[in-house]
Structure 1
Amino acid sequence: MTRALIVFWLVLFSAVFSINFNLVGAAVMHSHTSINKEHIQDSFYSPKDKNHYSEDGEHDIEFDHEAILGSVKEAETFDHLPLEESKKRLKILLEKIDLNGDKIINKQELKVWILRSFKMLSEEEANERLEDVDENNDGKVTWEEYITDTYGKDDELPVEQEDKQLLEDDKRVWEVADFDKNNFLENEEWLAFLHPEEHPAMIPHILEQTLSNKDKNGDGSIDFQEFIGTQGQERSKEWLLSEKDKFDLEYDKNADGKLSGNEIISWIVPNNDEIAEEEVIHLFAASDDNHDDLLTFEEILNHHDIFVGSEATDYGEHLHNIHNFKDEL
């Protein structure tokens, strides 16, 4: 065997071994899917439109599609429909959005529909998560099932202080979301646990938890230093000035130099109503051709790709997997 051939086989063996090792590692490692990962870096819950625009200003049209369809799965389905089929299904959808039946979509009708879609997206996510966590398929989740899926078995539970804190936070949210105190979560309880920021009964707990984690001097409020936390030590002067403007102009409504009560909630909890309004403005700007603040069915169908997306590819392959959209609506 030549030297070159020996080297070739050694490289190939190493690559295969590395791939197999990585696969085994991936199989045994648990990705942390705690609800606390819904928080972004400065501790507030991620808004529905967190991926609508990147930091570079790039627009992700998938958010628009999901905001209209209320389902990630349906959005993916529409991406593979041919043009005429996509328009046909969109027209069926428009008849549902058009509450007064005048064949015109006004801003309020569109906003109501988008808010409905946000709720459906959360429910879809919760149902998918339930399939992963519910080991015995009884439609309920016990705390043991949740921590096993999220953190691993007893001997794999977090040892780092940060992860221990996340586990403790999860447990407190779990206990609050267990409305009937029967030691498992189902239906609305499970949704409230995964998305406490969207459930009114969970808001007082979010406030309590925020103060517990951020109120370092124990005065029942959040000053600017507590607001920025440890990030302030790593960020630029420009960032600090920008955050100070947010603190003073957006959140500190009574200008007393600290956040308390509803001011903390407005900081921590995304306002889906405002997000829906912004999405309505965005969709109208992209499709209201005559600028009359009304969308005719024709205008929307002419801009169908903004609302639902369509690719004239793999039609035959995907058609047999598509549900009867009209019946579902």
Structure 2
Amino acid sequence: MVRPLLMCFVLCVVSGSSKPTEQKSRVHADAPLSELEHDDQQNFDYDHEAFLGREEARSFEQLRPEESKRRLSIIVDKIDADKDGFVSEAELRDWIKRAQMQHVYDSVEGQWKDFDLDGDGRVTWDEYKNVTYSSYLESPQTDGDYNYTQMMMRDERRFRVADGNGDMVADKQEFTSFLHPEEYEHMKDIVVQETIEDIDKNGDGLIDLQEYIGDMYMSEDGEAEPDWVTTERQQFAEFRDKNGDGKMDKEETLDWILPADYDHAVAEAKHLLHESDSDQDGKLTKEEILDKYDVFVGSQVTDFGEALLRHDEF
């Protein structure tokens, strides 16, 4: 019988729609910036989605060229973080990363009011704890499938890491890193620690082959081992256990669950810079970007564009 790959416990709802933090996949490889083919000879649709995010790119497709340029001009001002009048490769990279993180920000925004009980724009540990574990706190139980005391301690530990100044009060950015730690560099160690704790059954702080396979697959009596399990055994020996000691340590676990072999945002930033940097000075002016607006955002000449719902920032 196959068990899903889970970063933490499979958790039931504790109170309302909230639940203790969880991750749904062991491996957090960067997703492509777009599912579309990147072929500039055909169109710039891939670049549009990479630069704006999928939903925003679709809205721009329906705009007149002059409206696309107007909105793009506003975006350029936001990308220019140091306000020096130029967009650097690093600023372009950061913007693309932000666009691709929008689904994470939207998810946190949708939950924010549930946890910010006093409406002060911050979430304290007590607020999160009281919302997430209210039923357990009101009537502690020691039996059942879940050890809520342990889960609460684990969440508190992660909250402390996400809380930059240690006051146990999270602003929206800190709370986002708490709920989605795999997306943040300073949270990597806690993601690795939680993963090892989930899989490590003998308590030695390492992941051996039996524990690695056991996290994905539990055989039933008489059941033949599937081919994919055999492949995973080979993967463990050849790629996961880099030092050949039969176990994965913290560094090897990090390489497994948070691979850093390719940065899509960096590659796209370099590509957009190459396409638009007419004077080849390694940075972009607003004029250079607007001259190549079709590479960044695109548009179609259509009367329908003016009827689209406008976002507040535009």
TM range (shorter): 0.5 to 0.7
The answer to whether residue 228 in structure 2 is matched with residue 239 in structure 1 is: yes
* 1:35 to 2:35 alignment: no
Alignment CA distance shift 1:62-1:303 (3 Å):
closer
Tell whether 2:302 aligns with 1:318: no
User: Any idea what the Cα deviations from partners look like across 1:302-324, whole Å, max 9, x if unmatched?
Assistant: 566xx6787958544435x3335
Counterparts in 2 of 1:232 and 1:275: CA distance versus 1, 3 Å = farther
TM-score, with structure 1 as normaliser: 0.59
Q: 1:3-55 CA deviation, whole Å, 9 max, x = no partner?
A: xxxxxxxxxxxxxxxxxxxxxxxxx983345431x332xx34x445289559x
Would the alpha carbon gap of residues 308 and 233 (structure 1) be closer, same or farther in structure 2, given more than 3 Å must change?
A: farther
How far off its partner does 1:138 sit?
0.4
Q: What's the C-alpha RMSD, in Å, of the aligned pairs?
A: 5.1
Please list, as runs of the form range in 1=range in 2, the aligned pairs for 1:145-164 lying within 5 A after superposition.
145-150=127-132, 153-154=135-136, 161-162=145-146, 164=148
| Offset at residue 113 of structure 1 (A) | 4.2
Q: Measured at CA, do residues 315 and 174 of structure 1 come closer, stay the same or move farther in structure 2, by a change above 3 Å?
A: same
Partner of 2:5: none
2:116 maps to 1:134: yes
Q: How many residues align?
A: 276
Correspondences of 1:271-310 after superposition (within 5 Å): 271=260, 274-277=263-266, 301-302=293-294
Change (3 A) 1:146 1:109: closer
Distance 1:72 1:146 in 2: 31
Counterpart code for 1:30: G
CA separation of 1:323 and 1:78: change in aligned 2, threshold 3 A: farther
Which residue is equivalent to 2:7? none
Q: Find 1:218's aligned residue among 199, 203, 212.
A: 203
- C-alpha distance in 2, partners of 1:49/1:279? 13
Q: Which of 242, 257, 263 is the equivalent residue of 1:268?
A: 257
CA distance in 1 between partners of 2:57 and 2:19 (Å): 23
Q: Does 1:85 align with 2:75?
A: no
Aligned-partner SS, 2:308: helix
Matched-pair contact (CA < 8 Å) for 1:197–1:270? no
- Are 1:65 and 1:309, in contact at CA under 8 Å, matched by a contact in 2? no
Tell me the distance in 2 between the aligned counterparts of 1:312 and 1:132.
41
Q: CA separation in 1, counterparts of 2:95 and 2:209?
A: 37
Q: 1:68 aligns with which of 32, 35, 51?
A: 51
Percent identical:
30
| In 2, Cα distance between equivalents of 1:206 and 1:256 | 23
- Listed one character per residue, the Cα deviations across residues 174-213 of structure 1 (whole Å, up to 9, x for unaligned) are 2333344433322443233123234444333333322222
Are the equivalent residues in 2 in contact too, given 1:79–1:311 (CA < 8 A)? no
2:161 to 176, 191, 195: 176
**Aligned-residue offset at 1:139:** 1.2
1:1-12 to structure 2, matched below 5 A, reads none
The amino acid that maps onto 2:157 is: R
CA distance in 2: counterparts of 1:173 and 1:63, whole angstroms = 36
1:53-64 equivalences in 2 (<5 Å):
none
Shift of 1:133: 1.9
Q: Distance in 1 between matches of 2:294 and 2:61?
A: 16
Structure 2 letter corresponding to 1:244: R
Structure 2 length-normalised TM: 0.61
Shift of 1:74: 4.3
Aligned-pair CA distance for 1:243: 2.5
1:221-271 Cα shifts (integer Å, max 9, x gaps) = 212222233422269633223323443444333333321122111222354
- Residues 142 and 183, structure 1, Cα contact 8 Å, conserved in 2: yes
Q: AA paired with 1:139?
A: G
Deviation of 1:276 (Å)? 2.9
Q: Deviations over 1:136-175 (max 9, x none)?
A: 2101112343245446655699985248365553233123
CA contact (8 A) 2:33 2:100 kept: no
Instruction: Say whether the 8 Å CA contact 1:77–1:322 is kept in structure 2.
Output: no
Which ranges in structure 1 are unaligned for 5 or more consecutive residues?
1-27, 100-104, 289-293
Q: Distance in 2 between matches of 1:51 and 1:160?
A: 42
Are 1:68 and 1:114, in contact at CA under 8 Å, matched by a contact in 2? yes
Which of residues 186, 207, 214 is equivalent to 2:171?
Answer: 186
